[in-house]
Amino acid sequence: MGGQRVVIVDGDAGWRCHVASLLTRAGYRVVEEAANGIEGLKAVRARQPDVVLSEVNLVGMGGFELARTVQEDRLAPVILMSGSYDPETLERVREVRVFGYLVKPFDEAVLLPAVEVALANFQEVLRLERQVRELRETLETRKIVERAKGLLMEKLGLTEAEAFRRIQKTSMDKRISMRAVAEAIILTYEI
């Protein structure tokens, strides 16, 4: 709880004030409050909070739509709040894949752990997504280098090791990536 920024979206001004008070006492910074989904989304985009707490039932853009947009754009983790618990709402919460769901009324013993878990899980999701992108890039680079090696072996009669070494040496000499060298080789021999 080191001053993370929070946006609260709820049509009930009294409840927004209550949640803001709980969070502020715990060291969070409530950077903006909004009364409806459209204002909430604008606030999230403008203020770039670390976490968003949103009521499910909002005027205009509903809480589920707000949460879906914020989640898809990876702007912040969203914790949805609702005045009731029912299977239909819970199913929609699952579909949106928010980072938490709280039934009102709740106190700081419920709110604070939910916020901390949401923050930690969101960071883990971002880390895993970065790792997946890096692995895809590595795999794609390997495929391109393999294709270039195959072309060098076929066109120049090199062994696999010689073809690899030629790509590697060119990469080092020209100070460009092996992928860039491999792509140039592919362009040269596949025209």
Task: Measure the CA–CA gap between 92 and 67, rounded to whole angstroms.
Answer: 11
Are the C-beta atoms of 50 and 42 separated by less than 8 Å? Answer: no
pLDDT tier, 59 (very low <50, low <70, confident <90, very high otherwise): confident
Q: What is the dihedral of CA 22, 47, 70, 75, to 10 degrees?
A: -100
- Kindly state the average pLDDT of the residues 91-116: 93
Task: Measure the CA–CA gap between 35 and 63, rounded to whole angstroms.
Answer: 11
- What are the CB-based long-range contacts (under 8 Å, 24+) for 111-118? 111/19, 111/22, 111/23, 112/1, 112/22, 112/26, 114/79, 115/4, 115/6, 115/23, 115/28, 115/51, 115/53, 115/79, 116/1, 118/51, 118/77, 118/78, 118/79
* 64-100 per-position pLDDT tens digit: 999 999 989 999 999 999 998 889 988 999 999 899 9
* Length reported for the chain: 191
Q: Does the pLDDT value for residue 14 go beyond 70? A: yes
Residue 191 CA to its chain's centroid (Å): 40
Q: Which residues contact 88 (CB under 8 A, 6 or more apart)?
A: none
* 149-176 per-position pLDDT tens digit: 999 999 999 999 999 999 999 999 999 9
Residue 63's closest CA among 124, 7, 4? 7
Task: Measure the CA–CA gap between 182 and 169, rounded to whole angstroms.
Answer: 12
pLDDT tier, 29 (very low <50, low <70, confident <90, very high otherwise): very high
